[in-house]
Chains A and B, each alone.
Chain A
Amino acid sequence: MPKFSRREMLKTAGAAAPALLAARYASAAPAVFPAKNIQFVIPYAPGGGFDVYVRFITPVMEKYLPRKVSIVPINVASGAGSRGVAQLYRARPDGYTIGILNVPGMFILQEQQGTRAYDLNKFTWVGAMGEGERYLISVSSKSPIKNFADLKALSAQRPVKLSVTGPEGTAYVATMIGTQLLGIRKQLITGYKGSADYVVAAIRGDSDAVIAALPTTMRYVRGGSIRPIVSFETHSSIPGIPDATTLAQPELDRISVERLVAAPPGTPPDVQNILSAALAKALADPVVVKWSKDNDLIMLPKTPTQAVAILNEQRAFFEKWKTTLSAS
């Protein structure tokens, strides 16, 4: 066996080091993306809508990645979602950290907190989970309010009480803008913890009415505990109730919650494309299609360009209503 002197050993090591580093670099290069597990940041608590979407779709998405790695969801639920988004914003832009964002809820937080923690304009967009969900005004099935006219009549007497989250959620945006457009005087009962919480609040009579997303509301409508009286859709999918067209308020249909998927700013385009393609294929997978149908969700794949378009549209809408939203 040949003997190595210490000097030779060092020389060899010195020569090998760059090679090793190069190999390491190569493994991170997009040619073989993904080479390790991908973190999926959910800025909300386990069990909520965003959490469930991600946890259901990511295992399917794994199948469509060019290499077999896991997508690991992590919940960073702090500060109404802003901490998770800030964490995603600061993550290394290599595609190994992606996350889901609540739009336009995040615009409100950015408005409150400035762009120090994150800037929504700078993210690399991967796509979206779910087609924007529209909103409904509903009342408890035991409520004396039977239709929109009754609600208007109540509003003429006293402000209508509406249950909602704190001023950071998209439901808050929908409630503020919706009542403004329809000319309903309002008194908000804030602080409910999530969509199920504020809908049940209306069912048990904490509030007179609630403005909540369609899939959430439909769950309770089918159980017979709540009655929808106004739809914010252009053409109501529930027969017999007024919608944006009949109320002559087309703006109502622009109020929606979007679940956009993003990577940190500066993620290389080829990585972005791989992720985006995998997400789009996952949304078209029969397993996801059936699941979304069972839950009243529409899952249409979105390209990064479409995601940016959605974001821009939401931004324009938010900018227009900013003063209304910061009024209270």
Chain B
Amino acid sequence: MLDFWLSGFLSLFQPQALVFLLFGMAVGLFVGVLPGLGGTTALALLTPFTYGLEPVEALALAGGVMGGVPMGGAVTAILLNTPGQTANAVTCLDGYPLAQQGKAGLAIGAAASANAIGGIIGTISVLLVLPIATELVLAFGPPEFFLIAVLGLVLVATTSRGKTLRALVSGVAGLMIASIGYNDVTGGQRFTMGIEYLWDGVHLVPALVGLFAVAEMMHLSVKGGSIAKADGNVQITNIGAGLFETFRHWGTVLRGSLIGTFVGVVPGVGVTVASFLSYSLTVQASKDPESFGKGNIKGVIAPEAAINAKDCSALIPTLAFGLPGGAEMAVFMGILILHGMQPGPLMLQQNQLEIYSLIWALTASCILSSFVGLLFARPLARLTRVDTQLLAPVIIVLSLVGSYATDMVIENVVLSAVFGLIGYVMIKFDYPRITMVVALVLASLAERNYHQSMIMSDGGWSIYVSRIPSAIIVLCIVMSVASPFIRTFFSRRDLAATKTAGGS
């Protein structure tokens, strides 16, 4: 194994492989920055170019793209409150408030280093896990998938302190919207209102573009001024300090990376869940949970570390079983098959060289794209000083084009506009949008796996606790529900004791 590990590494240093890696990374970064467009689109665009390439070169290209996208997505999330891809929606929560405070550089710096370190930890975990990959993937079935979805939904409350009721309203609305479309379990359409476009449900990417990009730009246009408050004293390009922040919060980085790795191994759960779990658990673990959502740097580090770690480990179910964890991995699997590699149990044995060179390419691209991201951070951070009247039209056009390009249908643009209005109303009345996104992402996962679990167990509920992985997740859920109460109990006691008001 070590042999392949090294030769995989060396194969990247062939000039062609290196060129394709860098090209892929550049495309990934660029596409990542565009709102709505993510790794899926980038890989789909590049698939035809890989026909003439050697497998290792094609994988260097794909690895480059997959490593580059998250960094690009983070930049847009921080600067414009518009996630470059779905998973970055979580980065907005604290990244954007930082940008508003004029600390965009700090946030981008932290995102870059969290990205790179997350990628490295992800790679190490994958290398460690690969020998037992098959057992690990098989340990998670429908009951576990259902419970992970429940955990995600439960944690919605954590991300929205003080606004729990609003978060629940937004979450339930998300669940209801997610029930539109074709029912995977029993067949047949639900709530499609006779519109053919809705047969496949509410498309996530255009909805997200509307909810974040369009809504934010509407809000800014109405408000006027620029994103960062005109406070000349704050240094907006404090990138070095940002880089350093990640190293100050080792716990957060490590937690995020491990959660990312774990979620990646579980097929079909998706990267958004990884970044969201990482964020929520960081909030729960924090001594100062009130500061999140207002520009806590840990709120940027946690999701970013998770996203890149997840990108590495998501390769495991894809390669070992041909089970793509998401749309991006599905396209990537197509590239593998085109190049004569058949994902499945045999691939782990037969294509070790390719697998390791892919993992190396992915890691190299993570690190390199973080550097490139930093190079551009300075000029990009100045976007937050640009007058909204100039910024909003450009961003709205870019977002809607991205929304269209995702599926090449005009209905996507209409959907983005509708969700733009919904998002604007939500900003106006202070309803959290992230909970709606989480509900949209998790609803079908929860529903499908609930049905499957119940058939597996002949209708018995014990299946959710009788399997060890399930029992562990149930424990996590119980702890997540209980912890705010325990915390409130103790903080009240402290308050009573010290009779002081204000934060901790």
Contacts and interface: CB of A to CB of B under 8 A. Distances in A.
Interface of A: 45-48, 51-52, 55-56, 59, 74, 76-80, 82-83, 86, 112, 117, 161, 165-168, 187-193, 196-197, 200-201, 203-207, 219-220, 222-225, 291, 294-295
Contacts of A52: 334, 337-338
Contacts of A83: 196-197, 199-200
Contacts of B51: 59
B142 interface: yes
A190 B451 contact: yes
B200 A46 contact: no
Contacts of B186: 166-167, 190
A256 B51 CA distance: 30
Nearest to B196: A83
A46 B40 contact: yes
Given A59-B48, A225-B134, A200 B323 contact: yes
B184 A190 contact: yes
Contacts of B333: 47
Size class of the contact patch on chain B: 35 or more
Given A204-B141, A206-B142, 15 more contacts: A47-B324, A47-B332, A48-B330, A56-B337, A56-B338, A59-B48, A78-B200, A80-B182, A161-B456, A189-B142, A189-B455, A191-B185, A192-B452, A200-B267, A223-B349
B141 A201 contact: yes
Contacts of A189: 142, 452, 455-456
A55 B47 contact: yes
B187 A167 contact: yes
Contacts of A78: 182, 196-197, 199-200
Contact of A51 (B138, B142, B334): B334
A188 B455 CA distance: 8
Nearest to A200: B321
A159 to B, nearest CB: 9
Contacts of A161: 455-456
B323 A55 contact: no
A143 to B, nearest CB: 13
A220 B187 contact: no
B85 to A, nearest CB: 16
Interface string B234-268: 00000000000000000000000000000000011
B322 interface: yes
Instruction: Sort A-B residue pairs by CB-CB distance and give the 5 closest, nearest first.
Output: A223-B345, A47-B330, A79-B199, A78-B200, A167-B187
Contacts of B188: 112
B189 interface: yes
Contacts of B137: 200, 204
B284 interface: no
Q: Determine which residue in A55, A224, A295 has the highest number of CB atoms from chain B within 10 A of its CB, and name it.
A: A55
Interface in B47-88: 47-48, 51
18 contacts: A46-B330, A47-B327, A52-B334, A56-B337, A56-B338, A78-B182, A79-B196, A83-B197, A83-B200, A187-B455, A189-B455, A189-B456, A191-B451, A196-B323, A200-B267, A204-B141, A206-B142, A223-B344
Contact of B268 (A79, A167, A193): A193
The secondary-structure label for the interface of chain B is helix
B346 interface: yes
Contacts of A46: 40, 44, 327, 330-331, 334
Interface centre among A52, A74, A204, A222 (most CB of B within 10 A): A204
A261 to B, nearest CB: 19
Interface in B21-56: 40, 44, 47-48, 51
B448 interface: yes
Given A55-B338, A196-B322, A204-B138, A191 B448 contact: yes
B184 A219 contact: no
A326 B83 CA distance: 44
Interface of B: 40, 44, 47-48, 51, 134, 137-142, 182-189, 196-197, 199-200, 267-268, 321-324, 327, 329-334, 337-338, 340, 342-346, 349, 407-408, 448, 451-452, 455-456
Contacts of A205: 141
Contacts of B448: 191
Contacts of A224: 345
Nearest to A225: B345
Contacts of B197: 78, 83
Contacts of A207: 456
A220 B321 CA distance: 8
A76 B197 CA distance: 10
Contacts of A295: 337, 342
B44 to A, nearest CB: 6
Contacts of B268: 193, 197
A219 B341 CA distance: 11
Nearest to A72: B48
Given A83-B196, A205-B141, A168 B344 contact: no
A219 B183 contact: no
Nearest to B451: A191
A99 to B, nearest CB: 15
B334 A222 contact: no
B366 to A, nearest CB: 23
Nearest to B52: A59
Could you say which of B40, B139, B140, B142 has the most chain A C-beta atoms within 10 Å of its C-beta? Answer: B142
Nearest to B334: A47
Nearest to A48: B330
A249 B109 CA distance: 67
A200 B455 CA distance: 17
A190 to B, nearest CB: 5
